[in-house]
Amino acid sequence: MAYLYAKGELLFFFDSYNLDSLLLINSAFKDLRDPTQMNKIKKFTIPSLHPYETMLITLYEFTKWLKQKGILTETIEILREIKLILFSGSAQIYLSKVFDGTILEKIVRFFNVLISKGEALYQSRPGEAPQKMRISPSDMIFHGFFRNLEVSRGHLAENLRPRDQIAYSLLSGKVPFEALNEVIMERHKNKQQFPFYYKTFIISFLEAFGLDEERSMFEQINALGYALGREIKGTNLESFLWDIFRARGYEDLLNSLAELQLKLKIPLDWRFICAYEKDWRKVKAILLNGMANAIYGGRESE
């Protein structure tokens, strides 16, 4: 039997050919409901408006609850047999999407890693982030990253729309580097904080989804970008961040980097750039995010 859940205009339910698995997932999920609101999901500490960001936050809270109750492992074992059907609308349905069990399993494993890393990070740096952000240690990484994907456009729906697009990609098993870069550069322009734990979030996601080649690409290009950002931080060369951002082709990207190299008078290893010529847009996005992290973000390891 499928149970319909609601959060704002988001409606979703789980389905499976295995009725025992379906019963287990609904039994585990029911504690996320507001007991006074029938099938409606309770409020979470990260506010949301659009369907995909709401779904991602809900799955994160579900993972955290499973971990707290000690039933995470047994739930993960049945997720491959589960489908998540999502649709959204008020007077009429304007959006629908089906996520299969392999995606759900990997998303939950990914969130479990973030929760564990957040707790370990807090143990190594007691008193650092949770007090400032008023969150628990387990929420440090997810909240620190996801909250800071909101932009400032003067209207809440528009402020959260890019984050919803990013959430859709994550729920589809992809890291949207170009969309992330658009958000990061827009936040930089508006003097907003760089998303916390950027590197930790991205690498943990790529590992959870078994995207080893993309992880290698990210680590190489991100390290190069971070190193360049460190070189230009606090100098008039910071404007090159925008020169690179405005590059509209592979040759434009190379020309901007060559000019920056000339200004800095340092050697630059071009192999990682040239190796991914066909993915130059992704290369540009990863490179810029690494540079921006060095200029106005935090530690490279995060």
Grouped pLDDT means (10 residues each) for the chain, 302 residues: 84 94 92 82 91 97 95 95 91 85 97 96 69 77 96 95 98 98 96 94 98 97 95 95 96 95 90 91 97 85 62
Per-residue pLDDT, 3: 86
Listed in sequence order, the residues at least 6 apart from 145 whose beta carbon sits closer than 8 Å to its beta carbon are 195, 196, 197, 198, 200, 201
- The domain segmentation of the chain, as residue ranges, is 5-137, 213-302
Q: Report pLDDT for 129.
A: 52
Q: Please, how many CA atoms are within 13 Å of residue 54, restricted to the half-sphere of its CB?
A: 20
Q: What is the pTM of this model?
A: 0.93
- Helix residue ranges, H only, the chain: 19-29, 51-69, 72-79, 101-124, 129-133, 140-146, 156-171, 177-189, 198-208, 212-232, 240-245, 250-264, 271-274, 280-296
With H, G, I as helix, E, B as strand and everything else as coil, classify residue 160.
helix
Yes or no: say if 178 and 282 are a contact pair by the CB < 8 Å rule. yes
Q: Which among 265, 266, 283 has a CA at the least distance from the CA of 274? A: 283
The pLDDT, as a whole number, for residue 36 is 75
pLDDT of residue 155: 94
Which pLDDT belongs to residue 127?
Answer: 58
Coil, strand, or helix at residue 40?
strand
CA–CA separation, 89 and 210 (whole Å): 34
Q: What is the pLDDT of residue 150?
A: 97
Residue 207: the pLDDT is: 98
Say if residues 42 and 32 touch (Cβ distance below 8 Å): yes
